[in-house]
Structure 1
Amino acid sequence: MAMQAGDIEKLIKEGIPGAKVIIRDLAGDGNHYAAEVVAESFRGKTRVQQHQMVYEALKGNMGDVLHALALQTSAPD
């Protein structure tokens, strides 16, 4: 069963309060998404740490219900 873009966005926003999240369905199949996440809590963290925060927010769905997620993370300008 695939995840809906709105569910992905909700989980990320719940796990990373104040984050701005844009989700795109890359293949139109509900299995391959791209996420752009901008959050103040990313400031001073490495890209790996930022991605780990997003994966943690997804509560174990990555690699299971959510098949593929291309991530772009950053702190606000």
Structure 2
Amino acid sequence: MSEPYFQNDEAVREMLESVLWPHGPVCPHCDVVGRFYKAKKPRVYRCAEKVCRKDLTVTMKAVRGDPRSLCTSGCKPST
């Protein structure tokens, strides 16, 4: 396989959101599930908890490190 498994970052984000957040976004700051709204920045959510209100993304605190380069540079399905 010479082509990347995911063709663009948006496809990776959609897959990560469905796997990591099956019940809606989870705030990594306060651990609240599903209480969010979309921030003005693309692909960024904001926690709706009054005491938190911090921004979050699906790649925040990800194992892979750099959220700017997801898997479009060579991520392949494991066999």
Counting helix residues as a fraction of each chain, which structure ranks higher?
Answer: 1
> TM-score, normalization: structure 2?
0.34
Counting strand residues as a fraction of each chain, which structure ranks higher?
Answer: 1
Q: Tell me which structure has the larger Cα radius of gyration.
A: 2
> TM-score, normalization: structure 1?
0.35
